[in-house]
Amino acid sequence: MVLFAGIIIGLYGIYKIYKGYESQNWPTTEGKIIDSRLAGAKRIIGRRVFIKYEYFVEGNRYVSSQISYTLIIGDYSGSVEILREYPKGKTVTVHYDPDNLRDAVLKTEISGRISWLFILSVLAIILGLRGLRWQRF
């Protein structure tokens, strides 16, 4: 089970990095932040940033909450930083997938924090393989 989880986490990380690189070549349009807040638990721990924005392509309105494919916000201060960067009402540049106009992001750079998915994946795979080895005896 742990081995399977490690493989899934690794594939998920590869997908996220692929989409992150792909989004760097997407066309852009102007958008507007329509919601910007912390969501989740009432305590600091467990709260996460929620950004929602609208954009128009070919006369149609789209709404998304995807900031980036590789951005991982690990703590409260990171969430507050994103809130400051994207306050409600701000005009933003939206990168959208020309093949799927509903797929859009605000940031296209690849975050170094995505590497944690691979570290977690490798650890889970190692533990899973060790578990399989121990089961043989």
Which pLDDT value is given to residue 29? Answer: 97
Quick one: angle between helices 115-136 and 2-23, nearest 10? Answer: 160
CA distances to 61, 65, 89, 116 from 31, in Å: 10, 12, 10, 31
Q: How far is CA 108 from the centre of its chain?
A: 10
Element (H, E) at 96: strand 91-97
Q: How far apart are CA 17 and CA 35, in angstroms?
A: 26
What is the residue extent of each domain of the chain? 1-24+109-137, 25-108
Fold (CATH) for 25-108: OB fold (Dihydrolipoamide Acetyltransferase, E2P) (2.40.50)
Task: List residues bridging with 95 in a β-sheet.
Answer: 28, 105
Give the residues of the chain that fall short of pLDDT 50. none
Name the H helices within the chain.
2-23, 76-85, 115-136
- Model pTM above 0.85: no
Which pLDDT value is given to residue 134? Answer: 55
